[in-house]
C-alpha cells in the first residue's frame, strides 16, 4: 500500500467519494466518511508490484481465478471503506459495487506491500475491513526491506493461521488460488539496504 496523506475533516458519503474519485487525477481512499489522498510508492515498492503482478497473472492463466491491479478498489463492509489493494485475486465471477466495474466486492486474496508509513494500517484497519468480506480467505503482506512475507489464511470466522516465509530461496504457497510464488521472483531486482556493521572494540 502507498502511504495515505492528510486530508480535510469534511464527512462524505460513499457515493460522494466515488463521484469525486472517478473524476480525480490522483488516487484517494475512503475511510468511514473521510477521503484520504494517496502518495506515490518507492522504487522497491514499484519493482515488487510489477514482479508480483507478472508472476500471479502468469500462474492464473487457464484457472478460475483472476487478478486485479492496484487501480481497482475494494469495498469492505457496508459502505465504510473503499481501499486500493496492491493486488487482489477473485476466484469465480467477480462482483462489483455498481456498473462502473471499478469497485470489487468479493476478493478471495489480497496482497499488500508494506512500508514504514503504511504497515500499521495494513496490519490493522485494512485487515479488519477485509475480514468482513465473506469471500476473503487469504491476506499476504510483503516486506520491502528484506525477503520476508506473512501469509494469513482463514481457518474459521474468528481464526486465522499465520505462515511466515523468509529468504530468496523460499516459496509462498497459495492453495486458495492455485499459485506458488518464488521469493526470488517477487524480489527480482529489488536492492536491499546493507545493514550497518559496528566496528569491533579495540
**Which domain, by its residues, includes 96?**
40-186
Q: Is residue 19 part of a domain?
A: no
The pTM of this model reads 0.90
CATH number (domain holding residue 80): 3.90.1570.10
Phi, psi of 123 (to 5 degrees): -80, -25
Mean pLDDT of 136-143: 98
Q: Is there a contact between 76 and 85 (Cβ–Cβ < 8 Å)?
A: no
Looking up cell 501469509 gives 151
Report the distance separating Cα 13 and Cα 8, nearest Å: 14
Task: Please count the structural domains in the chain.
Answer: 1
Please choose, from the candidates 99, 118, 89, the residue with its C-alpha nearest in 3D space to the C-alpha of residue 176.
Answer: 89
Q: Is residue 197 part of a domain?
A: no
pLDDT, one tens digit per residue, over 144-196 is 999 999 999 999 989 999 999 999 999 999 999 999 999 999 999 999 876 54
Please choose, from the candidates 161, 156, 159, 157, the residue with its C-alpha nearest in 3D space to the C-alpha of residue 140.
Answer: 161
Q: Is residue 176 part of a domain?
A: yes
SS3 content of the chain, % helix, strand, coil (to 5): 20, 30, 50
Q: Is residue 8 part of a domain?
A: no
Amino acid at each position: 500500500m502507498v502511504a495515505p496523506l492528510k486530508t480535510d475533516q469534511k464527512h462524505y458519503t460513499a457515493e460522494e467519494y466515488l463521484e469525486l474519485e472517478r473524476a480525480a487525477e490522483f488516487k484517494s481512499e475512503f475511510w468511514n466518511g473521510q477521503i484520504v489522498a494517496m502518495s506515490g510508492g518507492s522504487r522497491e515498492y514499484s519493482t515488487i508490484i510489477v514482479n508480483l503482478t507478472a508472476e500471479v497473472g502468469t500462474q492464473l492463466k487457464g484457472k478460475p481465478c483472476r487478478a486485479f491491479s492496484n487501480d481497482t478498489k475494494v469495498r469492505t463492509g457496508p459502505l465504510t471503506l473503499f481501499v486500493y489493494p496492491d493486488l487482489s485475486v477473485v476466484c469465480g465471477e467477480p462482483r462489483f459495487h455498481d456498473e462502473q466495474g471499478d469497485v470489487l466486492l468479493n476478493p478471495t486474496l489480497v496482497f499488500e506491500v508494506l512500508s514504514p508509513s503504511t504497515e500499521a494500517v495494513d496490519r490493522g484497519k485494512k485487515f479488519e475491513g477485509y475480514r468482513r468480506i465473506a469471500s476473503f480467505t487469504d491476506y499476504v503482506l510483503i516486506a520491502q526491506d528484506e525477503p520476508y512475507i506473512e501469509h494469513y489464511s482463514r481457518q474459521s470466522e474468528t481464526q486465522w493461521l499465520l505462515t511466515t516465509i523468509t529468504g530468496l530461496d523460499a516459496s509462498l504457497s497459495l492453495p486458495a488460488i492455485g499459485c506458488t510464488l518464488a521469493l526470488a521472483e517477487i524480489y527480482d531486482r529489488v536492492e536491499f539496504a546493507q545493514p550497518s556493521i559496528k566496528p569491533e572494540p579495540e
